[in-house]
Amino acid sequence: MNILDKIIADKRIEVDLKKSLIPVHYFERMPFYERKTISLTKKLRGSDTGIIAEFKRRSPSKSIINDTSAVDDVAIGYEFAGVCGMSILTDEIYFGGTLDDLITARQSCKLPLLRKEFIIDEYQIYEAKAFGADTILLIAAILTKAEIKHFSELAKSLKLDVLLEVHNEDEIHGSIMPSLDMIGVNNRNLKSFEVNLDISKQLSSLIPDDFVKISESGISSVEAIKELQLFGFKGFLIGENFMKTEDAGESAKQFIKDLKR
């Protein structure tokens, strides 16, 4: 089994356990369930920088990235830095994230929040809504076309934006549909965890302009973003580059300042 297969196998066990303990109707009574969501898609369309800054403690490829920064401090820092949105990893086993991180970030800032998760069940979409997310991530590599359609349409009915992550040409051709808002090209191979920014460049022309194009993973320089903007990318997901510093918010602020020069 590769890393992705292990993550999904563990995720199925985790979701099944949660479903047996907490029914969906419980989420509908949570305070954030009825809140008006903030569109990440609209924020990105109106931005000239397009930074989506991530809160990330660790990853399978890099182990611990930052286990000292508090999510509320980082959320406030990112908002002050002027990012377009914030991505919150909620997978605990492999990334050290929790749903508490999502709800804490929601209480700490007014940024659109992306729940970064391996979604394999509609249960997780109701959960995302209840814990304060504005956008969900769907990963083409782990879902069928029918699942992408069902999950994205459910998310839209809950007023959540949908970011579909792709890695290759087949995933683009097999997954594009009107219920998506953004298409994210992950420059990291989820099976080997190797990173190559050329993947975004190679796939950019295959993504229809109806969708906001986002480049994810391995972006660490202003030059890389300026180059990717020439290929039509409006959003740039950056986590490790900010989180590996002592002050992620300050790091993001300086990065955006440099990008605007």
Annotated catalytic residues are: 54, 56, 116, 165, 186, 216-217
d(CA 19, CA 57): 26
Rounded distance, CA 156 to CA 246, Å? 37
**What is the Cα–Cα distance from 147 to 104, expressed in whole angstroms?**
29
Report how far Cα 29 is from the mean position of its chain's Cα atoms: 25
Which residue in the block uniquely carries the two structure tokens 């839209």? Answer: 156
3-state DSSP percent of the chain in helix, strand and coil, to 5: 45, 15, 35
Beta-bridge mates of residue 113: 86
Contact indicator for 164, 185 with CB cutoff of 8 Å: no
Strands (E), the chain: 51-55, 58-59, 63-64, 85-89, 113-116, 135-139, 161-166, 182-186, 212-216, 235-238
